[in-house]
Amino acid sequence: MSTPTTDRVALVTGGSGGIGRVAAERLARDGFAVAVQYAGNKARAEETVAAITVAGGRALAVGGDIADESAMSAAFDAVESAFGGIDVVVNTAGIMILAPIATLDLADLDRMHRTNIRGTFVVSQQAARRVRPGGAIVNVSTSVVRTQLPGYGAYVASKAAVEGLTLILARELRGRDITVNAVAPGPTATPLFLDGKDDATIANFAKATPLERLGEPGDIAEVVSFLAGPARWVNGQVLYANGGLA
């Protein structure tokens, strides 16, 4: 069981659903005031805020395109105004479009580049400027960077870039007492992963891990909680949370 923090503030991008929502709710249970960032679905973000509030936590929803530096600057401003500062930024927002490299529509490549790379960069840039000493920045990669499944080329290219910028930012923040890490989930039962896959494909993914199941968003939220709180000696790392997937 985690030890609650006091007077700490977290901003979770993509916090209206999937891993982001569960991570936001977990951080709230850890004692953080939580800002739930959303791009287009305000209602879902407000549902997350309501769930946190009903459970006794503090939360607000903040909108904006993560790849738009002006929108993200305004979002960070709103969080600081509401809660007095920012200690943890968790960047779960991302998109995944699968196709062989030979046939991928380059417009889809550009979409993933804008959200997964530019968006992570913009949010990380704001976080680097604003996160208070003792804080943490957590980005999200994917275990497919290592497993290298066909059809994931463009997505993996975007997430490999996320890993690269994460590791460099950890070193650029020398002396600031801010950790910067990435979590790389394996197959996790979220709409992002399940969409477009038939039952047989999903079953094969579940069997691929020694634990013989898909991950749950809560499994990834546990790692986020660790990196956001007690893991002060873990820095500049990519943690693979995938049930032992090779």
Q: With contact defined as beta carbons under 8 Å apart, do 178 and 129 qualify?
A: no
Residue 3 is predicted with a pLDDT of: 43
What's the pLDDT score for residue 188? 76
Select the more confidently predicted residue: 212 or 1: 212
Instruction: Tell me the pLDDT band of 169, cut-offs 50, 70 and 90.
Output: very high
Of the residues 38, 152, 155, 240, only one is catalytic, namely: 155
pLDDT given for residue 194 in this prediction: 67
For 40, residues 6+ apart whose C-beta sits below 8 A from its C-beta are none
Could you tell me the maximum CA-CA distance found in the chain, to the nearest angstrom? 51
* pLDDT tens by residue, 31-67: 999 999 999 889 999 999 999 999 999 999 999 999 9
- Mean pLDDT over 100-126 rounds to 98
Query: What pLDDT was estimated at residue 7?
Result: 84
Residue 246, pLDDT above cutoff 80? no
Tracing tokens 């979002």 back to the chain, one arrives at 75
**pLDDT value, residue 196:** 65
Look at residue 48 in the predicted model and tell me its pLDDT.
96
Instruction: Kindly tell me if the per-residue pLDDT of 23 is higher than 70.
Output: yes
Supply the mean pLDDT for the chain.
Answer: 93
CATH topology of domain 8-187+220-240: Rossmann fold (3.40.50)
Q: What is the pLDDT of residues 81-94, one digit of tens each?
A: 999 999 999 999 99
| Cα distance between residue 211 and residue 232, in whole Å | 28
Instruction: Indicate whether 14 pLDDT > 70.
Output: yes
Q: Is 70 exceeded by the pLDDT of residue 232?
A: yes
| pTM score over 0.85 | yes
Residue 5 pLDDT? 43
| Helix axes 18-29 and 217-228, enclosed angle (nearest 10) | 50
How confident is the model over 120-154, as pLDDT tens digits? 999 999 999 999 999 999 999 999 999 889 999 99
Band (pLDDT 50/70/90 cuts) for residue 192 is low
User: What is residue 123's predicted lDDT score, i.e. its pLDDT?
Assistant: 98
Annotation says 152 is catalytic: no
Q: In the predicted model, is pLDDT for residue 2 greater than 50?
A: no
Sheet holding 179-185, edge to edge: 59-63, 32-38, 8-13, 88-91, 136-140, 179-185, 238-241
- Quick one: CA torsion of 81, 82, 87, 91, rounded to 10 degrees? -100
